[in-house]
Amino acid sequence: MSQVSLDFSHKSFVEVCWQGEEYSRCKFLSTNFQEAELTGCHFDECDFSGARLNAGLFSQCNFTNCRFVGASFFVASFSECRLLGSDFTSADLGGVTFSDCDLSFVNFRHQSLKKQNFSGQKLAGADFYGADLTEANLSNADLTEASLAGATLLKTDLRGATLDRVDLKTVTFDKTKLDLSQAGYFARCYGAELG
């Protein structure tokens, strides 16, 4: 049974183990979820702003249009999760891992995502405006219509990634790993005529 429009702000859920829980439009402001284990849980339009999710394990969970503004995720792990349209503005993502996740339309604006492994994951429409993706692995990721304006792609691996309708004109890149078709796409973004 889904919990709707409830306020769990400032509560402690340290080391909880939840399976199949459902929450809609609930508040978890500054809630402590450190070392929590959540499996198959669903959160729709919930607000986790300022929450502490450090060392949390999240498996097969859905976080749809959730707010994680200023939340802390130090060494948290997301596996096979859907985080569609969620907002990570000013969140601490140090050491967080994403594995086989759908991160479409997620807000990663101005985030430090150095060495982050997004390989093979869905990032369609994700917002990486001003993000630092230095040495990140985006190989085989779906970046269709993602915003990379002002992003830093130093030594970033983009090989095999889908870059349909991605504007690369304001991206900072150096030693970025590309496949041949992507190299042509980069060149066209900067006005080169190939052929």
CB 126 within 8 A of CB 151: no
Kindly state the tokens that stand for 108. 């990663």
Each residue of 46-91: pLDDT tens digit? 999 999 999 999 999 999 999 999 999 999 999 999 999 999 999 9
Contact 112, 92 (CB under 8 A): no
- Is it the case that residue 190 has pLDDT exceeding 90? no
Q: Tell me the pLDDT tens digit for each residue of 151-173.
A: 999 999 999 999 999 988 889 98
pLDDT on residue 193? 62
Give the CATH architecture of domain 128-190: 3 Solenoid (2.160)
Q: What gap in Å lies between CA 21 and CA 118, rounded to an integer?
A: 27
Q: Do residues 123 and 107 lie in contact, with contact meaning Cβ atoms separated by under 8 Å?
A: no
DSSP assignment letter at 38:
E
pLDDT confidence of 134, banded at 50, 70, 90? very high
**For tokens 């409830």, what's the residue?**
6
Domain boundaries, the chain: 1-102, 128-190
The pLDDT value recorded for residue 181 is: 80
> Class for domain 1-102, per CATH?
mainly beta
| Position 25 confidence tier, pLDDT thresholds 50, 70, 90 | very high
Q: Six-digit token pair at 64?
A: 């749809």
Express as a percent the part of the chain with pLDDT over 70: 96
DSSP class of residue 186 equals H
pLDDT at 191 over 70: no
* Alpha-carbon radius of gyration of the chain: 18
pLDDT digits (tens, 9 = 90+) for 101-126: 999 999 999 999 999 999 999 999 99
Phi then psi for 32, rounded to 5 degrees? -100, 110
**Using an 8 Å Cβ cutoff, are 118 and 136 in contact?**
yes
- What mean pLDDT is reported for the chain? 94
Is the pLDDT at 194 greater than 60, yes or no?
no
In this predicted structure, the answer to whether residue 183 has a pLDDT above a threshold of 90 is: no
Same CATH topology for 1-102 and 128-190? yes
For residues 186 and 168, is the Cβ–Cβ distance under 8 A? yes
pLDDT of residue 116: 97
